[in-house]
A and B are shown apart, each in its own frame.
Chain A
Amino acid sequence: MAIEYLGLSSLNGPLAVLEGVSGAAYDEIVEMTVNETQKKLGRIIEVYEDKAVIQVFGGTENMALRNTHTRLTGHPMEIGVSPDMLGRTFDGIGNPIDGLEPIQPEMRLDVNGKPLNPVAREYPRDYIRTGISAIDGLTTLIRGQKLPIFSGNGLPHNELAAQLVMQSSLGDDSDETFAVVFAAMGVKYDVAEYFERVFRESGVIDHVAMFINLANDPVVERLITPKVALTVAEYLAFEKGMHILVIMTDMTSYAEAMREVSSSKGEIPSRKGFPGYLYSDLASLYERAGIVAGRKGSVTQIPILTMPNDDITHPIPDLTGYITEGQIVLDRTLHGQSVYPPINVLPSLSRLMKDGIGSGFTREDHQAVANQLFSCYARVGDARALASVIGEDELSLIDKKYLVFGREFERRFVGQELFDNRTILDTLTLGWELLGLLPREELDRIDTKLLDQYYKPSEDSDREMNR
């Protein structure tokens, strides 16, 4: 029988300090009973001899120094997992909130996970068809990858994430073993509701486990939500052989929560007040994506983060970009021009793309077309900058062609209808069509052989220009 400790020696924000304990372990979970009725969980984040600093989940409201009983559980934070979790909705620390019966766990797992041994990993090579040209063509998503969406407030990242879920699940390679784990950290009620509605309407809801921590839910729980969700994802992927897509939104709220807790612990801040371990902490989440050699399943992550003030150099997107295998960057200017999805392809990148495309995967010209589109679109920026100084009319003929190319690229290649589901071949054909707007000698990234085979100058490129 575990000892219960009565009372606390101090309370400060989400942190409680308990003195006179014996046998408290670092990172252990404690159960707290407030006023003999209300149950809360807490996590020990520092121990000194007989003193433990406890991070309380569910807020410290109505807690007093005298009305709290604390019991050590002897183990770190765990969650009971079961395949029945699909189709269910949970709160930020894994309690069902959909009014249905509790989960009958098949096993209990430590939510902190353990680092995957690089030797045990398998390098991801199978692409996922998302049906979105800008992603499939230029920043191909690979099974087992972690590819975040860098967005800003007011940009349609939720729509894009929902579209990704549906189209990659309902594509050609759809099978029963596909499932989604959705983790919402500090999101608005409407956002959580939007995702649930879209999942329900499109019929994937039975394959989704949702973990919801709303914006007004306790901040400390937010720190556990992605860990719980990823533990479930790893279980489903590596124990049950399923292909799991994990959507985590919004990573910015998660990092803000970390800063809040860190500052109430009195830690020394590094950049912009975030704790020095922000990188390691984010990495411990993102690195849980991947494929284990010899097992069937995979964990693919699409974290969503809103860049504060659209600033990609802010510590949260910056450190994320250094950990994840690329990024998809949304752009406010494109959004303003009603381009959906407003993906700014130049800073967007998929690091695993090069090994998952080309002959045997997509088509032999894929990499070359992608490089050429990137390179030409980068040139469009120069032409536009020049046009804004000397006026479009004064541009050289070739620069004018680039302007037309840029316009068409944004309108037809990047832009597509919501829930328009294109095949890879559609995307590549469209790419060649756009490159046809430019003279052949401008295409310096493509082999002569491929040019001979696929390049066709657009007949109406001059007509386009007069428009």
Chain B
Amino acid sequence: MTAAGKIYGINGPIVYLAGDFGFQMNEMVYVGEERLVGEVIGLTSGRTTIQVYEETTGLKPGAPVAGTGAPVSVTLAPGILTNIFDGIERPLGAIMEESGCYIGRGVHVPSLDKEKKWQTHILAETGAYLYPGAIIAEVPETRAITHKIMVPPGVEGRVLSTVSDGAYTIEEPLVTLETGDGQSISLTMTQKWPIRVPRPTSRRYPISRPLITGQRIVDTLFPLAKGGTAAIPGGFGTGKTMMQHQIAKWSDADIIIYIGCGERGNEMTQVLEEFGELTDPKTGNPLMERTTLIANTSNMPVAAREASLYAGLTLAEYYRDMGYHVAIMADSTSRWAEALRELSGRLEEMPAEEGFPAYLASRLSQFYERAGIVETLNGNEGSVSIIGAVSPQGGDFSEPVTQNTKRFVRCFWGLDKSLAYARHFPAVQWLTSYSEYLSDLSSWYAEHVDKRFVAYRNELILLLNQESSLMEIVKLIGSDVLPDDQKLVLEIARVIRLGFLQQNAFHKDDTCVPLTKQFKMMEIILYLYQKSRSLIAMGMPMSVLKEEPVFERIIAIKYDVPNDRPELFDRYKEQVDDFYNSVIERNA
């Protein structure tokens, strides 16, 4: 028996019912004659408050509100990948077929294709006792990803019967279980899961492996772990979206969930077009085959924007449970926070800092804590990493969303306006950014790349910090008066900035760089520094060193050495040696 009521009042996306009609908190409801989707967000004996996920234009007091008896949930089954959904998992492609190029109201389309038959390989055996999370069947969802059909959490029992391998829709029964109390349950490919509840796991593993992105400033200087959290704050035009796109394209996650939360429609179109064309360097398949988009653009209803982040997380957790490494791009969490603020204002709640509700911090922490690397219920290892863009008001990092986010993420890639103005991309400011994962991951780097990796990385950071303090002096008196060893620091820092930190997303080799090349680049830059320093120590002036083209050659390594030819680095080493010898010869 589901509850039903009548609308009393309407204010933007918020609808009030006078009295209590037996709805549950977070229950999904249908509002009005057009059956708009909504969620119960407040209950008192005198008033029920509902947020509506669609435009409320035309709703009238007295119109019916029907409960569904279940919380707002997403449907989990094959067909999620390559798809694009709105904030409450309605497929935008199907909506277009239904209501044309504009998104209409009250469109009811199933989240996933119920007609399509999937080639299914059954793994469950009759007589076996299955626990929650056990894999009962496999479906090749795309060329890259095998979708594993699992026993839903909370269900267990002995297999009474299974169907044979073949093509099935997501609603056809595959396996029949007999539960402990003698009931029989038939399992299909489909599960439902409430978006605000984390899916269960066996336990969490400690952080141990990096999420390799192919972006030098990330992988080398401020690495992110699989199962970790990172924030990218930056004013408009500093390249947040670009950086998210780069990580979505090139990171070594198995699955990407890209949440466009309150952002531009054209950007989502771009992702759709571009990811369909680009191929995954690992598998050679189109990137779209490992990607799901959740698009709730800025002009779509604000309540669904709030829900979109949770919907995306739940999809990610579902794939994690199959044993995949999933990365979530949330662009942008500030829009989500602003949706909270907008709804909170409509509810006439007492505002805290800058008009944001007082529960902003706890909501943010709940969101980021759903990341992690875990042992799944079926004993596999899977992870969810969250990369959240933050759009601080006026580019000022002291505002509440940035500050609260900083408390709950362990990786902070602060984007800088002046770097962006000089078109230095990625515009990650190396002095303010940090990664707390560095120490967790140093043993991985030592084992898989090189023992000296972290030491070299620290040396790079040291040089950049020295440059920054020297620049304070240069700003006052110019660089001519500095002693030669300090001039060398400035020159090497320039090489690091231009040749290493700056990365060209539109260059075929430079857009994604393997760790070995990153290491070799660091190595050659530091070798150049070491050789130049001994020249300076011999009394050679910096002006003589700079006559040699070697500095510019090393800056150009990122373009000149293809990613698959690390052996070319030996030649650069020779060039540095030649440079050393020729300076000595000519000036001895």
**A residues with CB within 8 A of B:** 22-28, 46-50, 76, 110, 112-124, 144-145, 238, 267-271, 275-277, 279-280, 283-284, 286-288, 290, 292-293, 295, 312-315, 318, 321-323, 325-327, 346-347, 349, 351-352, 354-355, 367, 371, 374-375, 378-379, 382, 385-386, 389-390, 394-396, 399, 441, 444-445, 447-448
- From A114, A238, A270, A327, B103 is in contact (CB under 8 Å) with A114
Q: Given A76-B57, A444-B498, is A396 in contact with B394 using a C-beta cutoff of 8 Å?
A: no
- Tell me the bound Cα distance from A385 to B478 in angstroms: 10
Beyond the given A117-B96, A275-B345, A374-B421, please list 17 additional residue pairs across the A-B interface where CB-CB is below 8 A.
Answer: A24-B61, A27-B56, A46-B9, A47-B60, A47-B61, A49-B8, A113-B102, A116-B265, A118-B295, A287-B298, A346-B422, A375-B423, A386-B478, A389-B475, A390-B477, A390-B478, A448-B556
29 contacts between A and B (CB under 8 A): A22-B62, A24-B61, A25-B59, A25-B60, A27-B57, A47-B9, A47-B10, A76-B57, A115-B102, A115-B299, A115-B300, A123-B270, A123-B273, A124-B266, A268-B348, A276-B342, A279-B298, A287-B298, A313-B396, A315-B393, A347-B417, A347-B421, A354-B506, A378-B418, A379-B422, A385-B475, A386-B475, A390-B478, A444-B498
Interface positions of B from 92 to 127, Cβ below 8 Å from A: 92-93, 95-96, 100-104
Residues of A within 8 A of B470 (CB): none
- Tell me the bound Cα distance from A346 to B418 in angstroms: 9
Residues of A within 8 A of B552 (CB): 441, 444
- Tell me the bound Cα distance from A118 to B86 in angstroms: 10
**Per-residue contact bits, chain B 401-427, to A (CB 8 Å; 1 contact, 0 not):** 000000000000000011001111000
Residues of A within 8 A of B12 (CB): 277
- Tell me the bound Cα distance from A28 to B58 in angstroms: 6
Q: Given A121-B266, A327-B237, is A270 in contact with B355 using a C-beta cutoff of 8 Å?
A: yes
Q: Does the CB pair B103–A26 fall under 8 Å?
A: no
Residues of A within 8 A of B264 (CB): 287, 323, 325
Q: Does the CB pair B101–A116 fall under 8 Å?
A: yes
Interface positions of B from 520 to 555, Cβ below 8 Å from A: 552, 555
Q: Given A28-B58, A280-B302, A378-B422, is A271 in contact with B355 using a C-beta cutoff of 8 Å?
A: yes
Q: Does the CB pair B297–A287 fall under 8 Å?
A: yes
Residues of B within 8 A of A396 (CB): 478-480
Residues of A within 8 A of B555 (CB): 444
Chain A residue with the shortest CB-CB distance to B63: A25
Q: Does the CB pair B9–A349 fall under 8 Å?
A: no
Best-buried of A279, A280, A399 by chain B (most CB within 10 Å): A280
- Tell me the bound Cα distance from A314 to B393 in angstroms: 9
Chain A residue with the shortest CB-CB distance to B421: A346
B341 at the binding interface (Cβ < 8 Å)? yes
Q: Does the CB pair B478–A117 fall under 8 Å?
A: no
- Give 10 closest A-B pairs by Cβ, nearest first: A313-B394, A270-B355, A283-B298, A378-B422, A48-B9, A120-B101, A321-B236, A114-B102, A287-B299, A27-B57
Q: Does the CB pair B423–A276 fall under 8 Å?
A: no
B153 at the binding interface (Cβ < 8 Å)? no
Residues of B within 8 A of A27 (CB): 56-58
The prevalent SS among residues of A at the interface is mixed
Chain A residue with the shortest CB-CB distance to B305: A280
* Nearest CB in chain B: distance from A331 CB, A: 13
Q: Does the CB pair A318–B394 fall under 8 Å?
A: yes
Q: Does the CB pair A26–B299 fall under 8 Å?
A: no
Residues of A within 8 A of B93 (CB): 119
Interface positions of B from 497 to 522, Cβ below 8 Å from A: 498, 506
B272 at the binding interface (Cβ < 8 Å)? yes
- Tell me the bound Cα distance from A279 to B418 in angstroms: 25
Q: Does the CB pair A121–B265 fall under 8 Å?
A: yes
Q: Does the CB pair A48–B8 fall under 8 Å?
A: yes
Q: Given A46-B11, A121-B265, is A276 in contact with B355 using a C-beta cutoff of 8 Å?
A: yes
* Nearest CB in chain A: distance from B485 CB, A: 18
Chain A residue with the shortest CB-CB distance to B350: A268
Q: Does the CB pair B58–A76 fall under 8 Å?
A: yes
Residues of B within 8 A of A28 (CB): 58
- Tell me the bound Cα distance from A441 to B272 in angstroms: 39
- Tell me the bound Cα distance from A390 to B476 in angstroms: 7
* Nearest CB in chain A: distance from B506 CB, A: 7
**Per-residue contact bits, chain B 327-353, to A (CB 8 Å; 1 contact, 0 not):** 000000001001001101110110100
- From B18, B295, B351, B479, A49 is in contact (CB under 8 Å) with B18
Q: Given A268-B345, A290-B265, is A117 in contact with B95 using a C-beta cutoff of 8 Å?
A: yes
Interface positions of B from 533 to 587, Cβ below 8 Å from A: 552, 555-556, 559
Q: Does the CB pair A49–B506 fall under 8 Å?
A: no
Q: Does the CB pair A112–B57 fall under 8 Å?
A: yes
Best-buried of A123, A144, A326 by chain B (most CB within 10 Å): A123
- Tell me the bound Cα distance from A383 to B295 in angstroms: 44
* Nearest CB in chain B: distance from A287 CB, A: 4
Q: Does the CB pair A268–B92 fall under 8 Å?
A: no
- Tell me the bound Cα distance from A352 to B355 in angstroms: 33
* Nearest CB in chain B: distance from A91 CB, A: 23
Interface positions of B from 457 to 500, Cβ below 8 Å from A: 474-480, 498
* Nearest CB in chain A: distance from B11 CB, A: 5
- Tell me the bound Cα distance from A117 to B98 in angstroms: 12
Interface positions of B from 287 to 314, Cβ below 8 Å from A: 295, 297-300, 302
- From B101, B298, B355, A117 is in contact (CB under 8 Å) with B101
Q: Given A386-B478, A441-B552, is A276 in contact with B341 using a C-beta cutoff of 8 Å?
A: yes
Best-buried of B92, B102, B498 by chain A (most CB within 10 Å): B102
Q: Does the CB pair B60–A26 fall under 8 Å?
A: yes
- From B57, B266, B418, B476, A325 is in contact (CB under 8 Å) with B266
Q: Does the CB pair A114–B104 fall under 8 Å?
A: yes
**Per-residue contact bits, chain B 5-28, to A (CB 8 Å; 1 contact, 0 not):** 000111110001010000000000
- Tell me the bound Cα distance from A448 to B556 in angstroms: 9
- From A49, A275, A312, B61 is in contact (CB under 8 Å) with A49
B268 at the binding interface (Cβ < 8 Å)? yes
Q: Does the CB pair B262–A279 fall under 8 Å?
A: yes
B354 at the binding interface (Cβ < 8 Å)? yes
Residues of A within 8 A of B422 (CB): 346, 374-375, 378-379
Residues of A within 8 A of B92 (CB): 117-119
- From A271, A287, A379, A390, B265 is in contact (CB under 8 Å) with A287
* Nearest CB in chain A: distance from B209 CB, A: 33
Q: Does the CB pair A119–B10 fall under 8 Å?
A: no
Residues of B within 8 A of A270 (CB): 341, 345, 351, 354-356
- Tell me the bound Cα distance from A325 to B297 in angstroms: 14
Residues of A within 8 A of B344 (CB): 276
Chain A residue with the shortest CB-CB distance to B551: A441
Q: Does the CB pair A318–B393 fall under 8 Å?
A: yes
Q: Given A119-B92, A270-B354, A276-B338, is A46 in contact with B10 using a C-beta cutoff of 8 Å?
A: yes
Q: Does the CB pair A117–B102 fall under 8 Å?
A: yes
Q: Does the CB pair A48–B269 fall under 8 Å?
A: no
- Tell me the bound Cα distance from A268 to B344 in angstroms: 9
Chain B residue with the shortest CB-CB distance to A142: B266
**Per-residue contact bits, chain B 349-393, to A (CB 8 Å; 1 contact, 0 not):** 101001110000000000000000000000000000000000101
Q: Does the CB pair B59–A371 fall under 8 Å?
A: no
- Tell me the bound Cα distance from A300 to B349 in angstroms: 39
B84 at the binding interface (Cβ < 8 Å)? yes
Q: Given A118-B297, A287-B265, is A26 in contact with B10 using a C-beta cutoff of 8 Å?
A: yes
Q: Does the CB pair B478–A395 fall under 8 Å?
A: yes
- Tell me the bound Cα distance from A349 to B238 in angstroms: 10
B395 at the binding interface (Cβ < 8 Å)? yes
Interface positions of B from 225 to 259, Cβ below 8 Å from A: 235-237
* Nearest CB in chain A: distance from B96 CB, A: 5
Q: Does the CB pair B478–A394 fall under 8 Å?
A: yes
* Nearest CB in chain A: distance from B503 CB, A: 13
Q: Does the CB pair A115–B395 fall under 8 Å?
A: no
- Tell me the bound Cα distance from A73 to B233 in angstroms: 47
Best-buried of B101, B237, B552 by chain A (most CB within 10 Å): B101
- Tell me the bound Cα distance from A444 to B556 in angstroms: 9
- Tell me the bound Cα distance from A146 to B502 in angstroms: 28
